[in-house]
Structure formats: structure tokens, C-alpha cells
Structure 1
Amino acid sequence: MRIAIAQIDTILGDVEKNLSKIEHYTDKAIEEKCDLIVFPELALTGYGLRDLVYSVSVNVEDSLFESLKEKSGFIDISFGFAQKESGYFYNSAVYLSESNVLTVHKKKYLPDYGMFEEERYFAPGDSIETFKTKFGNTTMLICEDAFHISAHYEAFKNETDFMIVLSASPFWSDSESMKWEMWENTCKTSAQLNGYFVAFVNRVGFEDGVGFFGKSFLVSPFGNVIKEASLFKEEMLLVEIDLKDIERARIKMPIKKNEALR
């Protein structure tokens, strides 16, 4: 399986230009014969939306998605967008496959600390769901979701084979650690304990002085980073994986047989 991880910069509130960039990288991934391309959180709109949420949010059936639906006949596509549904607004991720919307995940855990204001503008999702793709059972998390143990446990219970973490994570560092180290530790631990692949895709660029660091990566079911993107640089990372590693990892660490899940 060949995966394209597109850590892109986005223009705040400019859906048309962001969509054009998503289409551009999707075309490149198709040329590279990739099976799946993943984009960051809120890739269609930019992150710090505030009141722009109400004007840039779209319904998942909007004609805006038609070109990407068509492209998903050649490659599966996952990207973040601001969703409008039944009078509410959500920080969501859509997964397109075979020219259809396969599923939409609404971010369940909305941060409201420090610089984050998501809970003021978005409604929370109510579940962490796993869905079937051509590549196995797949779970999507959006940024803060991944910092909650319950989300990883739901993925574990649901027999996940492949996890996608879409993020718009800003840069910070202190004397103890760098921000990307926290992400690597979280995703490596989840992958190794649960025996699945984890694709972490983080955006780059700046909004109102806030910098997003990129450093996207893919982790094997053994808990190793297979390949990692650059710091602060827009790029498309291409990663080859062997889906048989899922079974190999679970044979090596047969943890689930001891879990009282029934």
C-alpha cells in the first residue's frame, strides 16, 4: 500500500484556494500511484476561524466536494473541513472512496484552553467510530481526540487496522521537550499497544502569528516511525507500507486475547 501524507499550508477562510491545493496534491498522489492521501485538520478552511465558521462551513453533500469525489474513484482521500449540519457546526474529517462519502468524523474533544477556542464555535461529535475501507478497519481522530485514552480504546475495541490523525498543531517547545515529540510518543504508543498503523498529518504555515510545525509521520504496528516529513515545510510525504505487518505485530504482542471485551 502506498500512502501520501500532504502536510499543507492553508489560507484562512479561502475555501476555493484551499480546495484547489487539495485537488493539486491529490492529482500528484494519483500520478505517484498512491492508494490513499491524507490532509490536515480543517484543510479546507484554515484553523483559527472564529466567526468565519458560519460562512465557510459546508454540508457534506455540497457540490463543492464533487471534484474530489470523482478523484476518489482513483485514490481514497481524507481531509478536514468545517461542517454544517442541522443548524450546528462541526470540526470534521471526511473520507472519500470510490466516488462516495464513506464516512464523516466529527471531532469529539474540542480544546478550550490556552490559545484554543474551538468549543465556542463548534459543537462536539458524540462518538469515535471505525469504518471499513479497502485497506482494513479505519478510525479517524482529529487532533485533541488523540490526547484522550478513551479514543484509542474505542479504536482498539473496534478492531482498527489503520488510524488517521488529522491535526493543526501549533509549535511550542520548552526545556523538557518539543511539541512533535509529544505527538510521536502518543502515536507510537497507540500503534504498538493496539497493533495498527497510525498516519499523523499536521499542517504548516502561520495564522495570526501562530505557527504550525508539520513533522507529519507514519508509524508501524510495531511502534516505529517509518517515515517523517520536514519541520515547517509544505510537502507530500510518500510512504510504502505492508499491511501484513498488522498481523505480524499482533502475533508478536498478542495483547487483545487477554482483554475482557465481551
Structure 2
Amino acid sequence: MKIAIGQIDTVLGDVAKNTTKIEHYIDMAIDKDCDLIVFPELATSGYGLRDLVYQASISVNDKLIKSIATKSLDIDIVIGFAQEENGYYFNSAAYFSNGNLIHIHKKNFLPDYGMFEEERYFTKGTSIETFKTKFGNTTMLICEDAFHVSSHCKAFFNRTEVLIILSASPFWSDYKSMKWEMWENISKTYTQLNSSFVVFANRTGFEDGVGFFGKSFIASPHGSIIKQASFLKEELLITQIDPKDIKRAKIKMPILKNEDETWIKN
């Protein structure tokens, strides 16, 4: 099974131009016989939208969404986009397969600290759901969602086998660590606890002086990074995964069978 990540830069507010780039990367992944391609958070619009959110958001009936859906006849596709729905605006992720939009996740946790202003412009999603794909039980999270234990707990009890994280994570570092190391540590921990793959798709490039570091990766259920993209460069990252690794990981760490699920439903 071949997975691709479209680690791309985006033009703030230019949905048409960003979608053209997305479609180009999809075509490249199709040419490489990939089964799935994942794009970063807000890939159609850019991240720091502020008041641009009202003109850069699109509905699920938009022609650009339908165009991407058509391409999913040849490859499963995940994109992050600013979604308009009944006069509300969401930071959303869409999963396309077999020519159809099969699932949308709306970001639950909207950061409003430091440089982040998402809660000012977007409406919160209210659920984290797991859905069936050809790769198994699949859950999508968007950036800040993945920092919350409750998100992973839901994925755990829903028996997620592929966790897809879309991100527009800006770069920072101190004398002890780099930002991407935090993402690697979080992902490697939960791959082992959940016996799942993690597909982390982060954008790259600069926007209003903010740099997005890239370093997208796929992590195995055994807690290792299978393959990782470059720092600060656009790239089509492609790697092969073995779904049997999920079963092997569950045999190695059979944690879920001992869990009492009743408490999380209350």
C-alpha cells in the first residue's frame, strides 16, 4: 500500500491557485501508483486568513471540491480546507474516495494563544469520528486536535488503524529541541498505544513572516518514523506501508482488550 503526502506551500486566500497545485500533486501521486495522498491543514486557502476567511471558504458543493472528488476515482485524497456551511466557517478536513466525498472532520480545538487566532474566525467542530476506508478504520485530526489526549482516546476506543493529522505548524526552536521533534514524539507514542499508523502532513513555506517547517512523515504502529519529508521544502513524500504491521503491533502490545470502554461513553 503506497501513501503520499503533498507537502506544499500555499498562497494566502488564493483558492483557485492553491487547488491547481493540489491537483498537480494528485496527478503526480497517481502517476506513481499511490493509493492515498494527504495534504496539509487549510491547503486550499493558506493558514492566517483572518478576515479573508469569508471569501476563501468554500462549501462542499463548490466546483473545486467536485473537481477533487472526481480525481479520487484513481486515488484516495485528503485535503484541509476552509469550509462554509450555512453561514458558519470551519477549519475542516475532507476525505475523498471512489469519486465521492465520504467524510468531513471539523477541527475541534481552535487555538487562540500566541500568534493563533482561529477561534476568532472559525466555529468549533463537536466530534471526532472514525470511518471505514480501504486502509481500515480511519480518523482525521487537525493540528491542535492532536495535542489533546481526549482526541487520541476517542481514536483509541474507535479502534483507529490509520490516524491522519493535517497541520499548518509554524517553526520554532530553543536550545533543547526543534518543533518537529514534538510532533514526532506525540505521534510515535500514540502509534504504539493505539497500534495504528500516523500520517502527519504539514505545510511548508512562509506567510506574513511566519515559517512553516514541513517535515511531514508516516509513522508505523511500532513507534518508528518510516519516512520523513524535508525541512522548508515542497515535496511529494511517498512510502510503502504494510497493513499487517497493525496486527503485528496488536500482538506485541495487546492493550485494547483489557480496556473498559463504559467510562468514556458517560
> Which TM-score applies when normalising by structure 2?
0.98
What is the letter of the counterpart of residue 211 of structure 2? G
Deviation, structure 1 residue 207: 0.5
Name the count of aligned residue pairs: 262
* 1:48-68 C-alpha deviation (Å, 9 max, x unpaired): 000000011111121221221
Q: Distance in 2 between matches of 1:180 and 1:192?
A: 19
2:205 counterpart residue number: 205
Deviation, structure 1 residue 209: 0.4
1:16 counterpart residue number: 16
Deviation, structure 1 residue 173: 0.2
Q: Distance in 2 between matches of 1:237 and 1:207?
A: 22
Runs of 4+ in structure 1 deviating by more than 4 angstroms, as ranges, are none
Q: Secondary structure at the match of 1:102?
A: strand
Counting only pairs closer than 5 Å after superposition, residues 127-142 of structure 1 correspond to structure 2 as 127-142=127-142
2:45 counterpart residue number: 45
Of the structure 1 ranges 128-137 and 58-67, higher mean CA displacement relative to structure 2 is found in 58-67
Q: Secondary structure at the match of 2:109?
A: coil
2:125 counterpart residue number: 125
Q: Secondary structure at the match of 1:186?
A: helix
What is the letter of the counterpart of residue 192 of structure 2? Q
What is the letter of the counterpart of residue 179 of structure 1? K
1:164 counterpart residue number: 164
Q: Distance in 1 between matches of 2:60 and 2:93?
A: 10
Residue ranges of structure 1 left out of the alignment (5+ in a row) = none
* 1:162-189 C-alpha deviation (Å, 9 max, x unpaired): 0100000000001121100000000000
Q: Distance in 2 between matches of 1:62 and 1:147?
A: 31
Q: Distance in 1 between matches of 2:189 and 2:61?
A: 36
2:251 counterpart residue number: 251
Q: Secondary structure at the match of 1:150?
A: helix
* 1:103-148 C-alpha deviation (Å, 9 max, x unpaired): 0000000000000000000000001110100110100000000000
Counting only pairs closer than 5 Å after superposition, residues 51-62 of structure 1 correspond to structure 2 as 51-62=51-62
Sequence identity (%): 68
Q: Secondary structure at the match of 2:27?
A: helix
Q: Superposition RMSD on alpha carbons, in Å? A: 0.6
What is the letter of the counterpart of residue 119 of structure 1? E
* 1:69-120 C-alpha deviation (Å, 9 max, x unpaired): 1110000000100001121100000000000001000000000000000000
Q: Distance in 1 between matches of 2:141 and 2:175?
A: 29
Q: Secondary structure at the match of 1:82?
A: strand
1:241 equivalent to 2:241? Answer yes
Q: Distance in 2 between matches of 1:201 and 1:212?
A: 12
Q: Secondary structure at the match of 2:102?
A: strand
Q: Distance in 2 between matches of 1:70 and 1:86?
A: 24
Q: Distance in 2 between matches of 1:197 and 1:64?
A: 29
> Which TM-score applies when normalising by structure 1?
0.99
2:232 counterpart residue number: 232
Q: Secondary structure at the match of 2:124?
A: coil
1:147 counterpart residue number: 147
1:75 counterpart residue number: 75
Q: Secondary structure at the match of 1:48?
A: coil
Q: Distance in 2 between matches of 1:27 and 1:85?
A: 29
